[in-house]
Amino acid sequence: MTTGRPITQPLSEVELTRVRADFPLLARTVRDGRPLVYLDSGATSQKPRVVLDAEREFYERHNAAVHRGAHQLAEEATDAFEGARHRVATFLGADAGEVVFTKNGTEGLNLLAYAFSNAAAPGALDGVDEDWARRLRLGPGDEVVVTEMEHHANLVPWQELCRRTGATLRWVGVTDDGELEDPRAVVGERTKVVALTHVSNVLGTLNDLGPTSPVLAAARAVGALVVVDACQSAPHLDITALTAPDSGVDALVFTGHKTLGPSGVGVLWARRELLEAMPPFLTGGSMIEIVRMEGSTWAPPPAKFEAGVPMAAQAVGLAAGLDYLTDLGLDRVAEHDQELMRHTLQVLSARPWVRVLGPADPARRVGCVAFVVDGVHPHDVGQVLDDSGVAVRTGHHCAWPLHRRLRVPASTRVSFGVYTTPQEIDTFAEALDRVPEIFGMGVSA
Please name which of 326, 342, 380, 348 lies closest in space to residue 92, comparing C-alpha atoms.
326
CB-hemisphere CA count at 13 Å for 249? 28
For 253, other C-beta atoms within 10 Å of its C-beta total 28
| CA dist., res. 298 & res. 408, Å (int) | 48
| CA dist., res. 376 & res. 253, Å (int) | 36
The pLDDT assigned to 1 comes to: 32
Bond prior to 302 in cis (omega within 30° of 0): yes
- Report, as residue numbers or ranges, the catalytic residues: 398
Cβ atoms of 338 and 323 closer than 8 Å: no
Spans of the chain below 50 pLDDT? 1-5, 445
pTM for the full model? 0.96
The β-bridge relationship of strands 251-255 and 99-102 is unpaired
The pLDDT assigned to 443 comes to: 67
| CA dist., res. 206 & res. 197, Å (int) | 9
Q: Using one digit for the tens of pLDDT, what is the confidence trace for 24-35?
A: 999 999 999 999
The CATH code of domain 52-326 reads: 3.40.640.10
CA-angle at 360, arms to 356 and 366, nearest 5° = 90
Contacts of 184 (CB under 8 A, 6+ apart): 214, 218
The pLDDT assigned to 6 comes to: 52
Strand order in the sheet with 411-415: 355-357, 368-372, 411-415, 393-395
| CA dist., res. 318 & res. 28, Å (int) | 23
Please name which of 199, 99, 183 lies closest in space to residue 145, comparing C-alpha atoms.
183
CA distances from 351 to 123, 125, 198, 429 (A): 61, 58, 29, 9
| CA dist., res. 393 & res. 201, Å (int) | 11
E strand or H helix at 281: none
Q: Using one digit for the tens of pLDDT, what is the confidence trace for 183-208?
A: 999 999 999 999 999 999 999 999 99
The β-bridge relationship of strands 191-197 and 143-147 is parallel
- Mean of the per-residue pLDDT values for the chain? 96
| Rg from Cα positions in the chain | 23
| CA dist., res. 16 & res. 219, Å (int) | 41
Cβ atoms of 333 and 325 closer than 8 Å: yes
Class of residue 163 by CB neighbours under 10 A (exposed 0-12, middle 13-18, buried 19+): exposed
Helix (H, G, I), strand (E, B) or coil at 357: strand
DSSP annotation of 270 reads E
Name the residue ranges covered by the structural domains of the chain: 13-47+330-437, 52-326
Q: Name the region of 150 (left: φ>0; alpha: ψ -120 to 50; beta: rest).
A: beta
Cβ atoms of 385 and 432 closer than 8 Å: yes
The pLDDT assigned to 105 comes to: 98
The pLDDT assigned to 8 comes to: 77
The β-bridge relationship of strands 295-298 and 288-292 is antiparallel
Q: Could you tell me the CATH superfamily of domain 13-47+330-437? A: Aspartate Aminotransferase, domain 1 (3.90.1150.10)
How many percent of the chain have pLDDT more than 70? Answer: 98
Strand order in the sheet with 143-147: 99-102, 266-270, 251-255, 225-229, 191-197, 143-147, 168-172
Q: What are φ and ψ of residue 150, in 5° steps? A: -75, 145
Contacts of 228 (CB under 8 A, 6+ apart): 195, 196, 197, 198, 209, 242, 249, 251, 252, 253
b/e burial code for range 283-322 (CB count within 10 A of at least 16 → b): eeebbbeeeeeeeeebbebbbbbbbeebbbbbbbbbbbbb
* Amino acid at residue number 434: R
The pLDDT assigned to 69 comes to: 80
